[in-house]
Structure 1
Amino acid sequence: MKIKTNKINSANAEIEAEISNKTIDTNLEKIAKELTKTVAVQGFRKGKVPVAVVKKQYGNRLLQDAEAEALRDVLNRGLDELKISSDRLIGEPNIYKFDKNDAGISVTVKIALRPDIDLGNYADMVKDFEKPVIDEKEVEVRLERLADSQGKFVDLKKKRAAKNGDSAIIDFEGSIDGVLFDGGAAKEFALVLGSNQFIPGFEDQVVGMNIGEEKIVKVKFPENYGSDALSGKDAEFKVTLHNIQEKIKAEIDEAFAAKMLAGQDDTSLENLKAQIKAQMSHEALAKLYNDELKPALLETLVESIKFDLPEFVVEQEIDVSLNKKASMMSEDEIKELRESTEKLEALRETFREDAQRSVRATFIIDSLATAENVKVTENEVMQTIYYEAMQMGQDPKVSYDKYKNAGYLPAIQMSMVEDKVLTQILNSKTKEA
């Protein structure tokens, strides 16, 4: 077997080989002999099946196994010549060329390697910045909002028309073209006006109604409504307003603070304000990180840290973008691409620069995670998915299984690693204002 190796750069290499028919025959003979020990063939005792019978019965499979063994040998010998350990390989080797001829097989194997990345003084790429400052007025506004959320609805002391913020106690009955539809009616339903609980336009028309008034509310269901029978349809609701309740917010005093801080040692109003301020500071810093600092830092890292990229990883990223683009194209556009290799390649090339940046960013984050000792376990991924599902009122296990079956867990884990790494680096640069 003749082997020729070429280390293109630190992330890519090629192995060319000429596999003789003699090598394939030798491999086939060896595999056939091993198979005689375990194969069951009618008319022969186990372990006593002649090699010729095994060859006749399993000929094509034996040939494939013999060629596969030769390819493994090509790869192993090529890696030895290149002085590359197998743990540096990324993905499966790509059989770029596999030509059978009279003498044997001409094969070219392309391999991708984990690139060597010099992160340099990456922390110096981040400029010092000040934490956002939360003033007392902002705290007071948040405190007022909290008190409002803890308020209670009570009957009006003085009769007036309904307005946003009120709880309107209504009967309603919905119909389309004069026909009542399922789920479109209720008695003495408490609707908080301005909450956008009902479809657009409904609550706006209840505003201004008086107790005892009956009104026909005309609305149109959104095109993307959950029911096909209702989506995009014009509907009428007969609405009767029985009562109006206004919201009386909770008094902001020590008793209110004690209720909000139940279970804590310090239940004073002063401590409640301090905790609100700390929460708002955390939210403001997170917004600054996510909207500005993290994207800017990642962009700086990608621009500053240069290294060779594994070609096949870039090609895979291009394919992902291409498939996404194709999913939004018409059948005629897709047909045109299938019929023109030049147009298809031209379209693929439009994604190359973004693909390279994406792959570069992924390797940089992976290296930074090692340098910063940042890890995200499978359990953390599961907990994150469970929490988000519960926040949206979904079944956590169903959501997790959906992501798992779709193969999205590694991408979610990588996204969490990126978030942790960039946050950790930025935290080291924060300064109190």
Structure 2
Amino acid sequence: MQFTETLNEGLKRGYEITITAAELESKVNEKLAEAQPEVEMKGFRKGKVPMALLKKQFGPKVLGEAMQEAVDGAMNEHFEKSGDRPAMQPKVEMKGENWKEGDDVQVDMSYEMLPEIPELDLASISLEKLVVKAKDEDVKEALENLAGQAKTFNDRKEGAKAQSGDQVTMDFLGKIDGEAFEGGAAEDFPLELGSGQFIPGFEEKLEGVVVGQEIDVDVPFPDDYQAEHLAGKMATFTCNIKAVKKPGKAKIDDELAKQFGAEDLAGLKTQISERLESEYSGAARAVMKRGLLDELDKMVSFELPPSLVEAEAGQIAHQLWHDDNPDVEGHDHPEIETTDEHKTLAERRVRLGLLLAELGRKNEIDVTDAEMTQAIMAQARQYPGQERQFFEFVQQNAQVQQQMRAPIFEDKVCDYIFELATIAEKETDQDGLKAAVDALDDA
């Protein structure tokens, strides 16, 4: 086997690999000899089929396998000896269109190698960590929002007409062509007008009703209604109005607290305070992480694999195009050109990505199975009722797994650097933190 260098330019490498016919034949004979004891063929006992007959019967298939194994082995040996780590899958092409058995095999292999990453003094990094405490007014605002979500309804004055937003309690019976239909009747049913709980047009026609009134509401079922036997048909609902109530905020007291899983109001305030500070802490970490990445970007400079930069720039341009054209969900759109701005951003991402990957590799930082499972389960909760299907989908899709693993790995490497860096805490308020987070989007 022979290696001949054909390209050595920056990070680009090219080699011509020659596997002699004798080497290939030896590998074929070796594979046939390994298989011979298990081969059965008519007219011969198991394991006694002559090698010449085996070669005639299985030679072409084994030859292809032997050729692939020889090339793979040559590549692995080269990377082990040279220490090169390809940035992307090497490109391998067989030379000679008229190759035939008995000829030497010549293969062209080319790749871009990962650059040498310089050592960094991580302890020299200084960062600022924003600290925000939950203030009484923040907790009060959150409590008022919860009270609004848990609104109550109180009886309107006698004779008052129902308005949008009111709750109407009624008995109703629905009929189509004079015949009652299944699911079209209820007693003491509370309906919030304007909630969209009933079919279109129904709730609007109840605006203005008063307690004790009986009213017939004529409305058509939508053409795409889920119950096909009702879709598109006109129905008449006879409604007896029993109560008309206006909305009001729930009282901020122990009873409200119990609705949200706390023992009492003090406990609910504590929960809110802890939740707010957890949210503040997460936002502050994002700001500090951006500061870290900015510092790392200033500290390093090394040659980047062009293919990685080009691929990243293409992804950035594609994502930004879809952000500007949210109505286009698929990829049936004009070719998207990358700009210098896309390339500059791509260079930063590739540079930082390679740096963090190298730091993780040297310090044996990895994403555990437990961390991946936790991440998958967290995303699966976004698909109620389909958690198992989502979990199985991720398990069977290596690309999706890598997309989920990458941010976890990045965060773990950043945590490692945080432990070594000098971090100064700076107290601020909610507005100051929000301004710092907004600045991340503008950068």
Q: How many residues align?
A: 408
- Counterpart CA distance in 2 for 1:218 and 1:424 is 64
User: Which of these residues, 83, 96, 101, is aligned with residue 99 of structure 1?
Assistant: 96
The match for 2:403 among 403, 411, 414 is 411
In structure 2, what is the Cα distance between the partners aligned to 1:358 and 1:421? Answer: 15
**Deviation (angstroms), 1:53:** 0.3
Partner of 2:61: 61
Q: Tell me, yes or no, if structure 1 residue 432 matches structure 2 residue 423.
A: no
What is the letter of the counterpart of residue 45 of structure 1? R
Aligned to 2:372: 381
* Code of the aligned partner of 1:432: E
Letter in structure 2 aligned against 1:411: Q
Per-residue CA deviations over 1:19-57 (Å, capped at 9, x if unaligned) read: 232332332233333333332222122232211101110
**Residue 278 of structure 1 aligns with which residue?**
274
CA 185–381 in structure 1, closer or farther in 2 if over 3 Å, else same: farther
Asked if 2 retains the 8 angstrom alpha-carbon contact of 1:387 and 1:396, the reply is no
**Cα pair distance change 1:9/1:421, threshold 3 Å:** farther
- Cα offset, 1:61, TM superposition: 0.9
Partner in structure 1 of residue 41 of structure 2: 41
User: Comparing 30-39 with 363-372, which one deviates more in the overlay?
Assistant: 363-372
| Separation in 1, partners of 2:144, 2:59 | 82
Q: CA deviation at 1:249?
A: 4.8
Mapped contact 1:7–1:82 kept (Cα < 8 A): no
The letter for the 1-side match of 2:269 is K
Separation in 1, partners of 2:28, 2:209: 89
TM-score by length of 2: 0.67
Contact 1:289 1:423 in 2 (8 A): no
Alignment deviations for residues 380-412 of structure 1 (CA, whole Å, 9 cap, x no partner): 333344345446533322221233334423312
- Cα 1:369/1:62, change in 2 over 3 Å: closer
1:394 pairs with 379, 385, 392, which one?
Answer: 385
Contact map agreement 1:317 1:355 (CA 8 A) in 2: yes
Equivalent position of 2:354 in the other structure: 363
Q: Which amino acid aligns with 2:71?
A: L
Instruction: Look up the match of 2:432.
Output: none
Match of 1:145 in 2: 145
Deviation at 1:108, TM superposition (A): 1.6
Whole-Å separation in 2 of the counterparts to 1:309 and 1:44: 60
DSSP 3-state at the match of 1:393: coil
For 2:265 and 2:237, locate their aligned partners in 1 and report how far apart those are by CA, in whole Å: 49
DSSP 3-state at the match of 2:41: coil
Structure 2 contact 13–110 (Cα < 8 Å) conserved? yes
Structure-2 change in CA distance of 1:374 and 1:30 (3 Å)? closer
Which residue identity lines up with residue 99 of structure 1 in the other structure?
A: G
Are 1:328 and 2:328 matched, yes or no? no
Larger mean Cα displacement after TM superposition, 135-144 or 95-104: 95-104
- How many angstroms apart in 2 are the aligned matches of 1:203 and 1:9? 73
**2-structure distance, mates of 1:98, 1:109:** 10
For residues 312 and 228 of structure 1, the distance between their equivalents in structure 2, rounded to whole angstroms, comes to 54
Report SS of the residue matched to 1:37: helix
Residues 1:419 and 1:98: Cα distance change in structure 2 (over 3 Å):
same
- Structure 2, gaps ≥5 residues long: 323-328, 429-443
3-state secondary structure, aligned to 1:191: strand
Q: Aligned equivalents of 1:373 and 1:30: distance in 2?
A: 39
With the length of structure 1 as denominator, give the TM-score of the two structures.
0.68
**Residues 116 and 302 in structure 2, CA contact (< 8 A), matched pair in contact too:** yes
* Structure 1 alignment gaps of length 5 or more: 334-343
* Percentage of identical aligned residues: 25
Equivalences for 1:12-411 in 2 at 5 Å? 13-79=13-79, 81-84=81-84, 88=85, 93-99=90-96, 103-111=103-111, 113=113, 115-118=115-118, 120=120, 128=128, 130-132=130-132, 134-150=134-150, 152-153=152-153, 155-156=155-156, 158-163=158-163, 165-169=165-169, 185=184, 187-188=186-187, 189-193=189-193, 195=195, 197=197, 209-211=209-211, 212=213, 214=215, 216=217, 240=239, 241-246=241-246, 249-253=249-253, 262=262, 269=266, 272-287=268-283, 305-309=300-304, 327-329=330-332, 353=343, 359-360=350-351, 362-367=353-358, 376-390=367-381, 393-407=384-398, 408-411=400-403
Contact map agreement 2:304 2:350 (CA 8 A) in 1: yes
